[in-house]
Amino acid sequence: MKKFFRLSFAIGGLLLITHFADAQKTKKASLKNKVTLSVVKAYGNPQSISDVKDILINNEAYNALKELIEKCQVTMVYDDNTFRGNANLKRGDFVVSYESALQSIRRATKRDSLDTVLVNTYDRNRAYITSVTEVKDLKPGSIYYVAVQNLLEDWGINAPFTKAAVLNAQSLFYQDELYDILRVTLGYQYPGITPRKVAVTRNHFAIILDDALNQKMKQIDSLAAKNKARADAEKARVNALIEQIEQNRHDSISKEIEARKIEAQKKEEEARKKLGVKNNQ
């Protein structure tokens, strides 16, 4: 009987040890997966929405992502051509996509010969960071470095950074901050909602950024149309002035020719009269 209890105890202990070992393996595997999922990914540059592996036409962000990629050439996907729309937006991802969107706007202003001041409504005099070297948690070679450098040193925009001069690239980006940055820097007039401090998914970010870009592009198109109308009016005025000058010159020449003709006729008439008088003598 004692042997039976000893055997049962030994088997129970073995099962407990085995269960504990399996649990540890599962925990390690889970941690490994979490680490794998949180690995920072570089960014891709597909030319077509069809190159994005994980978005279907019925996805809520499909049309927005299509416009951002194909029309505006905004960096929105990772280097493995995945978008991961259901994932929460990280601050590093926001900075890269946002700066890329600003470049798209700049291309449009250059195309239409507009002052780039029209693009950025941000008061750079209020900047508390002016150089990428001031960002404490960013080093050269980082996938965010160039975007951060352009935002701070070219655009004078430091809204995405904390006053402690850090980016916190892997932390979440919130709805209220997203709307506020787009409003302050691009003049974005967002629909009648009250932004909240809730995490923004990458799907919703694409939709919001596309809407903000469309507003800005319409503003640029409107300004370009007004500039073209003014240029066309000025061109028409100058052409009309040139035409008037040419007409005046033509009229002047015609009058001079006519005057010379009349003068010639007078001289000819006088000559005939003199010749008639001479013949009569």
Cβ burial, residue 143 (10 Å; 0-12/13-18/19+): middle
Examine residue 196 and state whether it is found in any structural domain, yes or no: yes
Each residue of 3-38: pLDDT tens digit? Answer: 444 445 444 544 444 444 454 554 444 434 433 344
Which residue is listed with tokens 């962000």?
Answer: 61
Q: Which of 248, 70, 101 minimizes the C-alpha distance to 182?
A: 101
**How does the average pLDDT of the chain come out, rounded?**
83
Q: Take residue 156 and report the two structure tokens written for it.
A: 């004078």
Examine residue 72 and state whether it is found in any structural domain, yes or no: yes
Q: Is the pLDDT of residue 60 over 60?
A: yes
Q: Which residue has the higher pLDDT, 272 or 111?
A: 111
Each residue of 90-127: pLDDT tens digit? Answer: 999 999 999 999 999 999 988 888 776 655 566 666 77
Q: Is 201 helix (H, G, I), strand (E, B) or coil?
A: strand
pLDDT of residue 70: 97
pLDDT of residue 279: 67
Q: What is the mean pLDDT of residues 259-279?
A: 78
Q: Is 163 helix (H, G, I), strand (E, B) or coil?
A: coil
Percent pLDDT > 70 in the chain is 81
Examine residue 240 and state whether it is found in any structural domain, yes or no: no
Q: Is the pLDDT of residue 193 over 50?
A: yes
Confidence of residue 208 (pLDDT cuts 50, 70, 90): very high
Q: What is the mean pLDDT of residues 162-182?
A: 95
Which residues are CB-neighbours of 169 under 8 A, at least 6 positions away? Answer: 40, 90, 91, 92, 95, 137, 138, 142, 144
Confidence of residue 201 (pLDDT cuts 50, 70, 90): very high
Rg (CA), the chain: 38
Each residue of 115-171: pLDDT tens digit? Answer: 766 555 666 667 789 999 999 999 999 999 999 999 999 988 988 998 899 999 999
Q: Which of 136, 212, 217, 138 minimizes the C-alpha distance to 178?
A: 212
pLDDT of residue 67: 97
Examine residue 221 and state whether it is found in any structural domain, yes or no: yes
Q: Which residue has the higher pLDDT, 114 or 188?
A: 188
Examine residue 241 and state whether it is found in any structural domain, yes or no: no
Each residue of 218-234: pLDDT tens digit? Answer: 988 888 788 777 777 88
Examine residue 201 and state whether it is found in any structural domain, yes or no: yes
Give the DSSP letter string of 99-158.
HHHHHHHHHHHHHTT--GGGT----GGG-S---GGG-TT--TT-TTHHHHHIIIIII---
Q: Is the pLDDT of residue 2 over 50?
A: no
**Residue 82 near residue 65 (C-beta atoms within 8 A):** no
The residues facing 88 across adjacent strands are 201
Report how far apart the first and last C-alpha atoms of the chain are (Å, whole number): 181
Tally of structural domains, the chain:
1
Q: Is the pLDDT of residue 62 over 90?
A: yes
Examine residue 40 and state whether it is found in any structural domain, yes or no: no
Examine residue 107 and state whether it is found in any structural domain, yes or no: yes
Residue 194 DSSP code: -
Q: Print the SS3 string covering 228-276.
A: HHHHHHHHHHHHHHHHHHHHHHHHHHHHHHHHHHHHHHHHHHHHHHHHH
Give me the domain span that covers residue 104: 49-233
Q: Which of 198, 162, 192, 163 minimizes the C-alpha distance to 178?
A: 198
Alpha-carbon gap, residue 237 to 249, rounded angstroms: 18
Q: Is the pLDDT of residue 260 over 90?
A: no
Q: Take residue 203 and report the two structure tokens written for it.
A: 């799907």
pLDDT of residue 151: 93
pLDDT of residue 116: 62
